Structure 1
Amino acid sequence: MVQLAKREDQIMQIVWQQGNVFIRDIIEELPEPKPHYNSVATIVKILVKKGFLNSEKIGNTHQYSAAVPFEDYRTEHLGEMNIKKKFFGGSFSRMVAHFAKGENLSEEEIKELVSVINKNKDA
Structure 2
Amino acid sequence: MSRFTPGELAVMQILWEQGELKPSELQEHFPEPIKNPALRSYLAILVEKGHISRRKVGKAYYYKAITRRKAAFRSTIRQIVDAYCEGSARKLILDLIRAEKLSQDELLELKRLADDPQQK
TM-score by length of 2: 0.75
CA gap of 1:122–1:61, structure 2 versus 1, over 3 A, is closer
- 1:59, distance to aligned residue in structure 2 (A): 1.1
Q: Who is 1:99 aligned against? A: 100
Cα separation, 1, equivalents of 2:11 and 2:100: 26
Tell me the alpha carbon deviations over residues 51-70 of structure 1, each in whole angstroms, 9 at most, x when there is no partner: 01011111111111111000
Aligned residue runs from structure 1 range 56-95, under 5 A:
56-82=55-81, 85=85, 90=91, 92-95=93-96
Cα separation, 2, equivalents of 1:19 and 1:81: 28
CA gap of 1:25–1:122, structure 2 versus 1, over 3 A, is closer
Name the SS for the 1:56 alignment partner. Answer: strand
Name the SS for the 2:116 alignment partner. Answer: helix
- 1:36, distance to aligned residue in structure 2 (A): 1.3
TM-score by length of 1: 0.74
| Superposed CA RMSD | 3.2
Larger mean CA deviation between 62-71 and 89-98 belongs to 89-98
CA gap of 1:7–1:122, structure 2 versus 1, over 3 A, is closer
Spell out structure 1 runs of 4+ moving beyond 6 A.
none
Q: Which residue among 81, 91, 114 is the counterpart of 1:117?
A: 114
Number of aligned positions between the proteins = 114
Aligned residue runs from structure 1 range 8-47, under 5 A:
8-32=8-32, 34-47=33-46
Cα separation, 2, equivalents of 1:97 and 1:22: 43
CA gap of 1:65–1:120, structure 2 versus 1, over 3 A, is same
Tell me the alpha carbon deviations over residues 56-112 of structure 1, each in whole angstroms, 9 at most, x when there is no partner: 1111111111110000000011111018836x971635523533639xx7xxxx86x
Cα separation, 2, equivalents of 1:118 and 1:89: 15
- Give 1:117's aligned amino acid: A
Name the SS for the 2:56 alignment partner. Answer: strand
Cα separation, 2, equivalents of 1:56 and 1:20: 10
Identity within the alignment, %: 18
